Structure 1
């Protein structure tokens, strides 16, 4: 790939920072880089490859001459500015939910459906963090035995809700340990020493009783896997973990697949690391996945309640594979 002019929109946020980190660590061929954010970040500088880069205010004209733009600035911002970028000939890889279910926009996990990148029209969507790590593991099994049904419960880290959420968790932990009442500003209930079965923090629940986060997993899984016949039910829960989403996943397949065969298939799958020796207490955990780009799977076992079922435990860094790394991997294919 020839060196590209790159922009990162939302550069000062958690995921924006990780995008810069991934561009640097993966030695992405950057000719020059623009760091874009809201008016609040005007005057800030960020380090990229040892150089201090000033943060510019995101405008409709920010993308003239830019070839690839990584967006992690929220759905409203993406809806407003991504079309301007595409109009200027820039390819947008967007981390928000704004474009994911648009039929004209590919929703891509490179290990699963990289070929969909070919039909982009200027915008490519990065899936939801929880969906990404799940489909990376499920696609090889789907290819081998055809998955008919998925039931997933997630245990999602606080970093997925942003910098203010992490600060709130830290403050609440201190308050509880000092016998003070925890203050809730980001979350509807205390997150310290608690689990909240609601994501996002507000306006979460839809008419069918599922949250918007849960419906993202339902709909995005079908689109990425290219199979609308897969039945998916999800329960998403915020837990007091800093970084790293964990998922308990139960699948029903059309053709029986043993746990041993699943381990064999997954051990060869791109981007997947099998950690599955429970007798020696070896299984994926968030504290081990944090800071790593792979998706980890373990606790692989045959479902004793049905003849063609498997249970799996899937863990990944929600800021890396769940967001920044996946976006950069897409950019590498362009």
Structure 2
């Protein structure tokens, strides 16, 4: 586990010390220093809305062998790392995203802190509803919500549900993950009302009528973690599955990108879900940073950032992150890159 620096130390770093920016809290700048939105009215005219969803599933103080405090800091730390960059200018594209895209930070959803330690059904549903409200506000304003979360349902189902309700036609999905999260019950609560860490995708396709696996592009799972009947059912229903092995052999990243339109063709909206345990064991994320969630053949930082960018270019309507590897500054920067390169894709499409 990395020893992540405190805000006082970060504030004195070469990249931050001479900058001034809005704060959500003493140790929490807005994402990239963009304006803070306090109400629905502040979202009017926004192209992108940043939302935090600090929630960790289950009971007790640890999640898969890692202290929950480390997981819960992700919303704050992604914002802290974002502030180190000089501007919204991405030299790879000779594009400053803030010249054409209005981005605001809507703060964190009002999730009860106890929801991350006492996994009662009422706590979980209250936390989910808090995220749904902010996502719905962003969608009603005509903006793309980007949710920085850590666990389901707050970083997954709580985005898919309001997006589903915002359109009449089919909704596609681009999903990056180590695990399918398509079991038939939430492992912690065993309650059918909970779209939790192990079953949120099953809940999406059971409960949200305009989601169908034929519009799903699933990327990154590999190895021996899944029950064969679960994976084969999605394949029979038309999902495009790009396993870690398939990505590295027959497709590569270019072939993978060419398959992303399957989520967009014939749909009214698309949700991109990035579970970043998909990177454990590859790229800048060593295996032990994720505890029990790490698996070999993980995706690299470039592959994840590239898919975020291409999803933006294709016109994705919502993006969220869960399971951000805790403690590593560079992993939080990967999320910053994903968000900015995604917004760059949206900007390219807009122009």
TM range (shorter): 0.3 to 0.5
Which has the larger Rg? Answer: 1
